[in-house]
Each structure stands twice: as structure tokens, then as C-alpha cells.
Amino acid sequence: MQSTIAAISTGLTESGISVIRVSGDEAFSIVDKCFLSKSLEKALLKYSPNTVHLGFIADNNDEIIDEALVTVFKSPRSYTGEDTVEISCHGGILVTKRILDTVLKNGAVLAEPGEFTKRAFLNGKLDLSEAEAVMDVISSKNDLALSASVKNLNGALSKRVRAIRQKILDELSFIEAALDDPEHMSLDGYRDDLSDKLDGLISELKALISSADNGKIVKEGISTVILGKPNAGKSSLLNILLGENRAIVTDIEGTTRDTLEENINISGISLNIADTAGIRESDNPIEKLGVERAMEHAKNADLIIYVVDASKRLSDTEKIIDIVKRKKTIVLLNKSDLSTVVSEADIYKAFGIDNNITSGFRIIKTSTKDISENFGLEEFEAVLNDMFFGGIIGHNDEIMITNMRHKEALSSALSSLKLVKKSIDDNMEEDFFSIDLMAAYAELGKIIGEAVEEDLVEQIFSKFCMGK
């Protein structure tokens, strides 16, 4: 925090512009050494805070490197809370590096990954959950993940956590005050009152914790495996989802022998999807290995898309049935445009499912004959939404926990509150309530960065990209 740091805050690649950020007590004086106004004067120290100026960046030999804009931010009105200058130059790799080198030669220190955001946290510009949301916004792979991250960046989770902590603190304060001054503050009937309040707090924590499973899927994507017999249309399905001919499609059975993995975004839902070898008995060692890999991928998947050729009678599907019974599955009755011999009833019977009410098992009739044809994509999207998110996608304003560190802290706080409930039921003294209430209060504080250990802070910000 004593040094002035600098780094390239944009991607180091050819682009329209690049931004070099400089932050610290000497940010103005350091950039003033290399910035010239349009009239070739050193004028940066004269500029008013929160203003933008056009000029040139020159090296220590007064050789002009590039025309640039400098934006001046005065503490505390900056991202880091410190004096900050951002240099916007042309986005060439060489010119960007030369400007950064010049800034470093003039006294700045190269920033560590995440150091700008760490300083923002340490200077009280962001709490820890908001700081973590910065990286989540940058790494978002779909609209849902971005929406959840932006909510947390804007303090949605922080506000909820602070509100719960305040309720806990109110109870702690009352207990301590009543124990210190029993003549004026009575604890008569307080146990029942506290028990009712704990029920509400426990419900709140359970709701946040239960959102973590969806949050993980939103953030990381749904691990999806396409299974089926050879030539059922698996690769054609992958091509349609991708919108391009990525997988080889032929009439020859066993064309796909290895696993092809892609990330697909469908209406804000990310699928980490794997097209696998057709499931059948084979003496070919390569095809046999492909089948084994397919089954292994399926065992670890969140979702199975089982493609069935509806124009051919069902054959032995024992291996697939064994996996499907333990996984969420969408069965695509493919080639439904042809004369079909497999019905939905046949599928339910084959998989031992009584009816179509089962939320984790759905059937969609489709045709992947031509990549340009509609194969039931809208129904597929709706089923995904309902199967994994209960139909809430697109109109959900609730907070979603996408960080496992937050889930662990919430779970620990929940356990502590349950211990308070047990102490009440066991007719323990009020002192015992305070111990576990304080533990819950401290665990929730870890989410927003209060009473968090320094090594944890270092670990969190080390995962950030350079320049952020």
C-alpha cells in the first residue's frame, strides 16, 4: 500500500485502445514525468480531478511514444480509493509495453494480479464479496452468470448478509445488556421470542445455501453428455446446437470414436457438452475405447441427452439405462419426420419410468435431418430451464450464491444458529446463546471481509487477472 503500482488493464493483444492504470500516492508525479500536453508542456499536476486530457506519452529521452488520453482521479474518488491515472493509448502490443516500461522507470512498481481491486477492498471502496464479484463479472460465460455477478457487485449479497448480521447483533446486545442489568431488563419469555426469530434467520440462510447448487451450474455451466446408439443423430445434434458443422456426420455407423467437447450457450444457459461415441458392443479396440470414455463422461455429467432413432426399434440399452436412472435426462426421439416405430410409451417402459411427470426425465420429439430445420430447440430450452432452475430463468430477482467460499460461511453460520436453538430446547443458560450467536456473526463476516485472515485475502486476489 506504500508503493505506487502500475499495470496494463486491458488484454495484451492488438486492439483499438489499451489502458495502463497507475495508482498510489505518487501516481500524478510519476505520470507527469512522461505526459506532455498538446502544446508539449508538462501540465498534469495542474489538471483538476476527474478530468480527461489529450496529449503525448514520451520516454525518458523525451521521444514521443504515442498520442494518448490521460484520465485523472483524485483520492478517494477512484476505483482504488487512491490517486489514480489511467493512460489510454493506441492498442498495439509494442506501444502499450513501452508506455508501461516508461511508467515503471519513473518510479511505479508493477502491480500484482488483483492488486488494484485488493486496494479498493482495503480502502473500503468494496467489501470482499463485491471484490470477488468483479472477477466473476470478468469471467462470466453466459447472461445468467453475468446477471448474478452484477447483482453481487452492486451489493445485493452484502446487503442481505449485513441485514442478517444486524439481527444477530441485536440479539447479542440484548442478551449482554440483560445479563449486566437484570433489574431493568428482563429475560422472561425471551427464549420463545428468540426461538421464533431464529426460525426466520435459519430460513433465510437455508434459502441462500440452496441457491448455491444452481449458482454453481450458472457459473460453471451444465456438464452435458450426448449418448445414443451409432448413427442416431448425436453429432447432427451437436452441429445444430453449435450452429456450425463441427462434428463429422456420415451414414456410416461408428464415425464418432472419440469425445468431442464444446461450450454452448442456449438462452443464457451454458452447456459444457460432449458428443461421444455410439454405444454398442464392438471388437474394434479404438471404438471400444471410445465407448468406455463415453460411459465415463456420462457418470460425471449433470445432464444426459439420450438420442434415440425413432425409426428403428429399441435394442439393448442396459448400460445407458443404468446411468440414466441416476441422472437428469432429456430423451430426443430423433428422426420423427420418418415412419416411427418407437413411441414415448416405449421409452418410459424401457427406462422403467411410470409417467412423464418425473422432473428429471423428459422426452422431446425432434428431427436433426438438416441443420437449417427447427428441431424443437424452443422446447429443449424450456425443458432445460424447468429441469435445472424450476422455470425461474428470465424473471428471478433472488440472490444466487455462485461462490463456494460464501456457501461454506453460510453453512457454518447456519450450524451455529441451530446450536442456539438446541441450547434453548435444552434449557441452557443465556451465556451459551451468546457464544453460538457470535460464531454465526463471525462466519457471516467472512463473506464481506470482516475479521477475515490476511492469507485468505491474498489467496482470493491472487486469482484475479493482471491489471485488475
pLDDT tens, residue order, the chain (468 aa): 789 999 999 988 888 999 999 999 999 999 999 999 888 888 888 899 999 999 999 998 889 999 999 999 999 999 999 999 999 999 999 999 999 999 999 999 999 998 999 999 999 999 899 988 888 888 777 777 787 888 888 889 999 999 999 999 999 888 888 887 777 777 788 899 999 999 999 999 998 998 887 777 777 788 888 888 777 777 777 777 766 555 444 444 444 445 677 778 776 778 888 877 766 555 566 666 766 677 777 778 888 888 888 777 776 555 566 666 677 888 888 776 666 777 777 777 777 776 555 567 888 877 766 544 555 667 877 887 777 766 544 444 567 888 889 999 999 999 999 999 999 999 888 888 999 999 999 999 999 988 666 776 777 777 777 777
The answer to whether the peptide bond before residue 76 is cis (omega within 30 degrees of 0) is yes
Residue type, 302: D
Domain identity same for 46 and 90: yes
Output the domain CATH number for residue 90.
3.30.1360.120
Domain boundary (74, 99, 126) is at 126
The answer to the question of residue 461 being in a domain is no
Per DSSP, the three-state class of 301 is coil
Counting the structural domains of the chain, the total is: 3
Domain identity same for 308 and 187: no
Domain identity same for 254 and 360: yes
Domain identity same for 300 and 251: yes
Residue type, 334: N
Residue 152's domain comprises: 132-216+403-448
Domain identity same for 185 and 236: no
Domain identity same for 89 and 163: no
Domain identity same for 268 and 366: yes
pTM: 0.71
Choose among 123, 127, 135: nearest CA to 156: 127
Q: How far apart are CA 59 and CA 19, in angstroms?
A: 17
Three-class secondary structure assignment of 147-179: HHHHHHHCCHHHHHHHHHHHHHHHHHHHHHHHH
Cβ atoms of 307 and 234 within 8 Å: the answer is yes
Domain identity same for 331 and 264: yes
Domain identity same for 248 and 210: no
